[in-house]
Structure 1
């Protein structure tokens, strides 16, 4: 079995992060420019809940009152403008319209604007470094629907983007696999875990070991239990890694590939060698491309994407490894 994604991945994105000047102050940022030519590997679906709510541009900033986005959908929190006008009903309509657009496009991945009271997931305000009341209204809706969510700011870091991209490929591939069939389901579970286990072990060894023990007894599991396993792995693949873990996994997989398939890549350094995250990103990309060209499984990035394979074979540029590492600072408060 070859872990390969043939079709272009459909990715939703906050429109203000796709260059559309739809923020409350009429501004926007094209975050996809940070990934260079790789932008063309995907089909993008920009949406803006505020714009689809009929609030217009420019508009008065809005904020959540009395709770977070989850509470808003339960009816226990409100969304008001700076002047105090309640725009909750308008925002519900706008979020529903955006979700319908994503569903019609077959979108299951979304790049969100962190800090937004609508699209934010882990914070709904960046003013004075406050968290606000996460998740935001649209962010809450996407979480409840099981989307794979990527913070737009991480596209500015080559290593963070590489981490998100490889996990996205794995997530999309696994999400399409059928664990429920009574005859083929158990073998599909085992095959899928063979592909993903090294990546999952990097993300959380304890969780991966627990999943592995249950998969060892997969023949005793019914369809519901197998689907539960799938959900657990999908949730784990949403977990960001960190440079230390990435370096350790990269070296472990390189040693295996060198011993088993005689693959040589002098750019890959030992985990204890000091270097910056840009250098680590280059190592990850170079080994990923080498493994793809040789047709062998690279445990750190196990699922291949045909669009990237074609770009690599044609010599097309990768995402710019010189892109500035995102510092976490935002020049102005993020309000919608």
Structure 2
């Protein structure tokens, strides 16, 4: 089987809480531009900002709202309410607003969503901004996103170069595999060959168990079994990796590159080099670019995006990508251990 990265050319649509894209739609008429740190890479995606509260008709500025009597799932089932600071029940309005936002994401064919934790609507693991309290997660819209099995990215992670790189590579793999036609065991096995090294990094036990499971499958795999395996893999791709695992995977893949090409890449440091997260992110971007150019399988980032318009421009590619790497990392984070 040919060892080669999957290249996709269509931009992925990512939904995002509008307040995280700079829109001043929070209750206090404020917002944050969480995407500013992405630089030119922001152009690699389509963005679909939504705000459940404003779509609910609550306006800006407005009284803060909170979950009362349970979490967002219980609101959806009618067991809990949403009230504002003055005690007014705004459950019906917020449910309509959340439903409208979800319909918008579906029309946009959004694969992922960048959410701001701490919100009673968009929050997934927190619905309170108080330091010692998580609130009643998930929020109402957060519960809908979980039900739709969206690829969910916390907004604060977008500002970290290493965390964003991890989310991006897993999102690309998730998007590709979710829509990949699987008709038989051979299709499944070929797809797993592309994804298994990334899955091993994220959860080695799961990956090895699934490898044995695939080997034992009959030639004609039942549709329900195929769906179950696809769901398991997608759930694994949603899980973040760690800096330690990512660094180990980088060196392992770099070693494979050196063995295959018989040459080194200037800018990739030895395993004992004391790296910080900014340096690691720069090495990962450099290795992605180099592996793509040299047509060497970079297994830790198996699915990559490339704009079709840039593909033939090989002579200008190096300088352009060098600039892109610097712009991606510039000003993202201070040097940290």
TM-score, normalising length: structure 1: 0.91
Aligned to 1:120: 123
Asked if residue 36 in structure 1 is aligned to residue 39 in structure 2, the reply is: yes
In structure 2, the CA distance between the partners of 1:263 and 1:172, relative to structure 1 (3 Å rule), is: farther
Aligned partner of residue 131 in structure 2, secondary structure: helix
Asked if residue 303 in structure 1 is aligned to residue 303 in structure 2, the reply is: yes
1:90-169 to 2 correspondences below 5 Å: 90-169=93-172
Structure 1: stretches of 5+ with no match in the other structure: 327-336
Aligned to 1:292: 292
1:190-269 to 2 correspondences below 5 Å: 190-220=189-219, 221-269=221-269
Alpha-carbon offset, residue 309 of structure 1: 9.3
In structure 2, the CA distance between the partners of 1:323 and 1:239, relative to structure 1 (3 Å rule), is: farther
Q: Report how many aligned residue pairs link the two structures.
A: 322
Aligned partner of residue 317 in structure 1, secondary structure: helix
2: CA distance, partners of 1:106 / 1:82: 35
1: CA distance, partners of 2:332 / 2:108: 32
Aligned to 1:332: none
1:60-99 to 2 correspondences below 5 Å: 60-99=63-102
In structure 2, the CA distance between the partners of 1:89 and 1:271, relative to structure 1 (3 Å rule), is: farther
2: CA distance, partners of 1:78 / 1:303: 42
Q: Is contact 2:34-2:155 (8 Å) kept?
A: yes
Q: Is contact 2:5-2:302 (8 Å) kept?
A: no
Asked if residue 13 in structure 1 is aligned to residue 16 in structure 2, the reply is: yes
Alpha-carbon offset, residue 250 of structure 1: 0.6
1: CA distance, partners of 2:157 / 2:55: 26
Alpha-carbon offset, residue 272 of structure 1: 3.7
TM-superposition CA deviations, 1:290-335 (whole Å, max 9, x none): 0111122201111021239939924352353133449xxxxxxxxx
Aligned partner of residue 14 in structure 2, secondary structure: strand
Alpha-carbon offset, residue 263 of structure 1: 4.7
Q: Is contact 1:4-1:173 (8 Å) kept?
A: no
1: CA distance, partners of 2:67 / 2:22: 25
Alpha-carbon offset, residue 91 of structure 1: 0.7
Q: Is contact 1:218-1:226 (8 Å) kept?
A: no
2: CA distance, partners of 1:119 / 1:138: 5
Q: Is contact 2:69-2:80 (8 Å) kept?
A: yes
Q: Is contact 1:177-1:188 (8 Å) kept?
A: no
TM-score, normalising length: structure 2: 0.91
Asked if residue 23 in structure 1 is aligned to residue 26 in structure 2, the reply is: yes
Aligned partner of residue 35 in structure 2, secondary structure: helix
Q: Is contact 2:82-2:91 (8 Å) kept?
A: yes
TM-align CA RMSD: 1.8
TM-superposition CA deviations, 1:228-273 (whole Å, max 9, x none): 1111000000000110000111111111111023352132234443
Q: Is contact 2:6-2:302 (8 Å) kept?
A: yes
Greater than 4 Å deviation, 4+ residue runs = none
Q: Is contact 2:15-2:112 (8 Å) kept?
A: yes
In structure 2, the CA distance between the partners of 1:218 and 1:317, relative to structure 1 (3 Å rule), is: same
- Return 93-102 or 254-263, whichever deviates more: 254-263
